[in-house]
């Protein structure tokens, strides 16, 4: 579903991705684990079609995102670290607007259902987003991707700054979406959240994918040791 | 697109600062419109009253010599156009009262600026000033804030991933704010029409509609330029600085620079040099009060021949009346030459100003606004020309009465009766028809049109810098 093949990308003198390859099959949750500046966000930007590669190929469901961004984005949902939607609009209104942009027309009832599925309390749906916690905003962001019926969900540090409960809820939600067939790529430097959420974990450092592990086969402590041993 | 526009409006509606600002602006525009229209109505009434008074004095004058009446003269008052209350144009500084008399053409006098330091320095607060300066400033801030927030909050990525095309997003935002400014424009222009509903004519309505089109075009230019710069420049703040610089340069510096440059390229004579030139040319031509002058010999000979008499005293007509008219016509030639030259220079200056507004659409808008309101230099020059045509006909009628009314040469005591004076037509001024106004303003129209197209092309070629 997601494929990066020998991709290199350089910004001025900084090599962000260095002969980077990655394959993520449909329905898998893949976590890119790495320190700041490792190349996680660059990978996501390549998949979103915001950047072109210097060498190598990128494809999502067989589509090259940079060459055909409109087609690629039709099947992609994107959750940034901070889901800064419109604070003056309610959660419901935000969802309505963003689904309209994706050329979908849903009734308010459908939209409430999407928000509810993504874990947003009914009482919060008609409140301005400006009054939401970060976790609640992330849920609205995921509801946008869910309503879009995105086949691929790209998440950039989605759990950053969330309290443990909100973080756990987010993990559950991501797993729920993956069970429905959504392929997820999440970039993170949160070892424990990654371990709890992902099917597979890739350790990325200085633009290279150094290790790829099955989450079920390692404990959190093992993962920490491997991670520190890899990047230090 | 509809969703983007609607979303922008919802966001604005929920912004208490914006709502407060709009209420203040509507109050200001309401007050300026009311005072502008009220003042124009008062002016029109005063002009009508003064004209009636002057005419009444003329009609009720005692029977008297027509040449004395020519020296007594009459006054004309430059009529205020119905849209003076919207755009004062040059009317505040060019004067309103013109004294007409025989032998000489006087300058129009008693401008409001000459009697008010504040008006001479700042002009009057009219709705046009608000629409030309304040609404564009508001548009710059609103369009900039809307696009900058999308960029800086990183929301633009979500918008694009959700399927929003960046050009569509930009156009949607521009249209949202442009429509808002057009709504404000409609309120202002409707107020103008409503406040003077009793004097509305099809021409005034048409002119008001065309003024609206001009302003709407300018708002499109402002919105699209701001959107383009904010979306494309690496630092969004630079876009705001650039647009504010444009606002200042367009509104203050460029008009003054092009005005000064126009004056330097096409120089007007000083008032003293102009008066000296007129006096010299007048002195070198004939003097109607001096029948001994050589240059009158030909006229005298032809008249004597025509009536087959030896001396002017034998003529059945009053030769003095013919002399006065001959003197008048020479004076007219001198005036035509000097004022013609002056007008040519003024027209060249105006044309230069129009062409030099290629980099300044605000200047074109101001020219269009004044022209359609009937308050620009061309309308003033047209009034002066028609007033002079009237003066010539008026003096000619008096001279002909003097010549052919029944008196004999040298009979300065002869009096024309009151009926004659009453029979002279009063001055009636019709402003330049709309189709001719366009002949004058086409440069401004084309410049604005070019900028509007440019705005479309800019947005079409722009990219959201992420």
pLDDT tens digits for range B408-434: 888 888 888 888 888 888 888 888 888
B198 secondary structure, DSSP code: G
pLDDT, position B259: 84
Do A99 and A66 belong to one domain? no
Is B162 in Cβ contact with A101 (below 8 Å)?
A: yes
Is B14 in Cβ contact with A144 (below 8 Å)?
A: no
Is A50 in Cβ contact with B157 (below 8 Å)?
A: yes
Do A63 and A109 belong to one domain? no
Q: Are B274 and B342 in contact (CB under 8 A)?
A: yes
Show which of A94, A119, A150 is a domain's final residue: A150
Give the whole-angstrom CA distance, residue B19 versus residue B24. Answer: 9
pTM: 0.85
Q: Does the model's ipTM exceed the 0.85 cut?
A: yes
- Whether the CB of A70 is below 8 Å from some CB of chain B: the reply is yes
Q: Is A182 a member of any domain?
A: no
Looking at the partner chain, which of B3, B162, B466 has a beta carbon nearest the beta carbon of A148? B162
Do A14 and A68 belong to one domain? yes
Confidence label for B115 from pLDDT (cuts 50, 70 and 90): low
Do A7 and A70 belong to one domain? yes
Do A71 and A9 belong to one domain? yes
Is B11 in Cβ contact with A86 (below 8 Å)?
A: yes
Q: Is A146 a member of any domain?
A: yes
Do A116 and A64 belong to one domain? no
Give the whole-angstrom CA distance, residue A97 versus residue B62. Answer: 83
Do A115 and A133 belong to one domain? yes
B131 secondary structure, DSSP code: I
Do A82 and A130 belong to one domain? yes
Show which of A10, A43, A76 is a domain's final residue: A76
% of chain B exceeding 70 in pLDDT: 93
Mean pLDDT (chain B) is 85
Residues in chain A within 8 Å Cβ distance of B158 = 78, 80, 83, 85, 98, 141, 144
Give the whole-angstrom CA distance, residue A12 versus residue A19. Answer: 17
* DSSP sequence for A175-226: HHHHHTT-EEEEEE--HHHHHHH-SEEEEEETTEEEEEEEGGGS-HHHHHHH
Query: Beta partners for A4?
Result: A22, A58
Q: Is A213 a member of any domain?
A: yes
Give the residue from B248, B228, B249, B229 showing the smallest Cα distance to B239.
Answer: B229
Q: Is A165 a member of any domain?
A: no
pLDDT, position A166: 79
Q: Is A108 a member of any domain?
A: yes
Is B164 in Cβ contact with A103 (below 8 Å)?
A: no
For A206, the domain range is 190-232
Instruction: State the smallest CA–CA distance between residue A10 and chain B in angstroms.
Output: 17
Q: Is A36 a member of any domain?
A: no
pLDDT tens digits for range A132-153: 988 899 889 888 888 888 899 9
Residues in chain A within 8 Å Cβ distance of B164 = 101
Do A17 and A63 belong to one domain? yes
Q: Is A129 a member of any domain?
A: yes
Do A63 and A120 belong to one domain? no
Give the whole-angstrom CA distance, residue B134 versus residue B131. Answer: 6
Confidence label for B292 from pLDDT (cuts 50, 70 and 90): low
Test mutation, B4, B16, B18, B161, chain A, max A CBs within 10 A: B161
Is A73 in Cβ contact with B165 (below 8 Å)?
A: no
Which residues lie below 8 Å from residue A81, measured CB to CB, with a gap of 6+? A156, A157, A158, A160, A161
pLDDT, position B283: 76
> What is the per-residue burial (b if ≥16 Cβ within 10 Å, else e) of B421-459?
beebeebeeebbeeeebbebbebbbebbeebbeebeebb
pLDDT, position A119: 82
pLDDT, position B410: 83
Is B3 in Cβ contact with A50 (below 8 Å)?
A: no
Provide the number of structural domains found in chain A.
3
Test mutation, A83, A101, A105, A149, chain B, max B CBs within 10 A: A101
Do A102 and A128 belong to one domain? yes
Q: Is A133 a member of any domain?
A: yes
Looking at the partner chain, which of B11, B158, B466 has a beta carbon nearest the beta carbon of A98? B158
Give the whole-angstrom CA distance, residue B324 versus residue A143. Answer: 95
Is B466 in Cβ contact with A101 (below 8 Å)?
A: no
Place of tokens 């030259």: B341
Show which of A126, A150, A174 is a domain's final residue: A150
Do A103 and A125 belong to one domain? yes
Tokens for B275? 């008066």
Could you give the C-alpha distances from B247 to A108, B145, B319, B453, in angstroms and in order? 44, 17, 65, 20
Q: How much of chain B is in helix, strand and coil states, percent to nearest 5?
A: 75, 5, 25
pLDDT tens digits for range B14-61: 999 999 999 999 999 889 888 888 888 888 888 888 888 888 888 888
Tens-digit pLDDT string for chain A (232 aa): 889 999 999 988 888 888 989 899 988 999 998 888 888 999 999 999 999 999 999 999 889 999 998 899 989 999 888 888 999 999 999 999 999 988 888 899 999 999 988 888 888 999 999 999 888 998 898 888 888 888 999 998 887 777 788 788 888 888 888 898 899 999 988 888 888 888 999 988 888 888 888 888 888 888 888 878 877 7
Could you give the dihedral angle defined by the CA atoms of residues B415, B417, B420 and B421, in that order, rounded to the nearest 10 degrees?
A: 80
């Amino acid at each position: 579903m997601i494929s990066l093949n020998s991709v290199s990308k350089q910004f001025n003198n900084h090599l962000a991705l260095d002969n980077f390859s990655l394959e993520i099959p449909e329905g898998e949750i893949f976590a890119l684990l790495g320190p700041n500046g490792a190349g996680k966000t660059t990978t996501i930007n390549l998949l979103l079609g915001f950047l072109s590669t210097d060498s190598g190929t990128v494809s999502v469901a067989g589509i090259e995102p940079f060459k055909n961004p409109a087609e690629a984005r039709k099947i992609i949902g994107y959750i940034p670290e901070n889901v800064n939607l419109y604070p003056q609009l309610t959660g419901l209104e935000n969802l309505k607007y963003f689904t309209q942009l994706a050329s979908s027309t849903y009734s308010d009832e459908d939209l409430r259902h999407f928000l509810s599925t993504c874990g947003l309390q009914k009482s919060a749906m008609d409140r301005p987003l400006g009054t939401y916690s970060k976790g609640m905003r992330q849920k609205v962001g995921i509801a946008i991707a869910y309503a879009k019926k995105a086949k691929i969900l790209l998440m950039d540090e989605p759990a950053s700054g969330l309290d443990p409960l909100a973080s756990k809820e987010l993990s559950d939600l991501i797993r729920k979406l993956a069970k429905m067939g959504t392929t997820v790529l999440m970039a993170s430097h949160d070892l424990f959240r990654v371990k709890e959420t992902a099917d597979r974990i890739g350790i990325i450092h200085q633009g290279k994918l150094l290790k790829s592990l099955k989450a079920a086969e390692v404990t959190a402590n093992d993962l920490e040791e491997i991670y520190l041993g890899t990047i230090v | 697109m509809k969703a983007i526009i609607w979303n922008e409006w919802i966001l604005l509606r929920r912004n208490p600062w914006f709502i407060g600002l709009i209420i203040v602006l509507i109050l200001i525009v309401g007050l300026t419109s009311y005072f502008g229209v009220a003042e124009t109505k008062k002016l029109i009434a005063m002009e009508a009253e003064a004209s009636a008074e002057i005419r009444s004095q003329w009609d009720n004058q005692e029977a008297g010599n027509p040449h004395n009446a020519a020296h007594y003269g009459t006054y004309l008052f430059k009529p205020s156009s119905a849209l003076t209350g919207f755009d004062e144009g040059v009317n505040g500084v060019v004067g309103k009262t013109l004294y007409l008399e025989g032998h000489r053409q006087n300058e129009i006098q008693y401008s409001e600026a000459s009697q008010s330091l504040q008006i001479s320095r700042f002009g009057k607060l009219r709705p046009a000033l608000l629409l030309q300066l304040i609404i564009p400033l508001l548009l710059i801030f609103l369009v900039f804030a809307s696009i900058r927030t999308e960029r800086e909050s990183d929301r633009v990525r979500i918008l694009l991933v959700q399927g929003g095309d960046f050009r569509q997003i930009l156009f949607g935002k521009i249209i949202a704010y442009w429509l808002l400014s057009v709504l404000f424009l409609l309120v202002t222009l409707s107020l103008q029409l409503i406040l003077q509903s009793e004097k509305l004519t099809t021409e005034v309505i048409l002119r008001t509609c065309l003024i609206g089109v001009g302003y709407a075009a300018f708002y499109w230019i402002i919105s699209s330029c701001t959107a383009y710069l904010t979306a494309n420049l690496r630092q969004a703040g630079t876009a705001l600085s650039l647009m504010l610089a444009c606002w200042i340069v367009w509104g203050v510096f460029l008009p003054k620079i092009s005005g000064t440059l126009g004056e330097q390229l096409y120089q007007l004579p000083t008032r003293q040099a102009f008066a000296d030139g007129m006096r010299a040319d007048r002195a070198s031509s004939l003097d109607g009060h001096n029948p001994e002058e050589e240059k009158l010999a030909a006229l005298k000979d032809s008249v004597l021949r025509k009536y087959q008499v030896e001396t002017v005293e034998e003529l059945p007509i009053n030769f003095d009346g013919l002399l006065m008219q001959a003197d008048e016509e020479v004076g007219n030639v001198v005036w035509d030459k000097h004022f013609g030259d002056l007008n040519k220079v003024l027209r060249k200056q105006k044309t230069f100003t129009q062409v030099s507004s290629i980099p300044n659409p605000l200047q074109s808008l101001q020219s269009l606004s004044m022209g359609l309101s009937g308050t620009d230099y061309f309308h003033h020059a047209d009034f002066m020309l028609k007033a002079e045509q009237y003066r010539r006909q008026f003096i000619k009628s008096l001279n002909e009465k003097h010549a052919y009314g029944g008196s004999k040469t040298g009979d300065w005591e002869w009096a024309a009766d009151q009926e004659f004076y009453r029979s002279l037509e009063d001055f009636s001024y019709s402003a330049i028809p709309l189709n001719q106004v366009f002949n004058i303003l086409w440069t401004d129209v084309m410049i604005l049109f070019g900028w509007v197209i440019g705005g479309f092309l800019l947005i079409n070629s722009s990219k959201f810098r992420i």
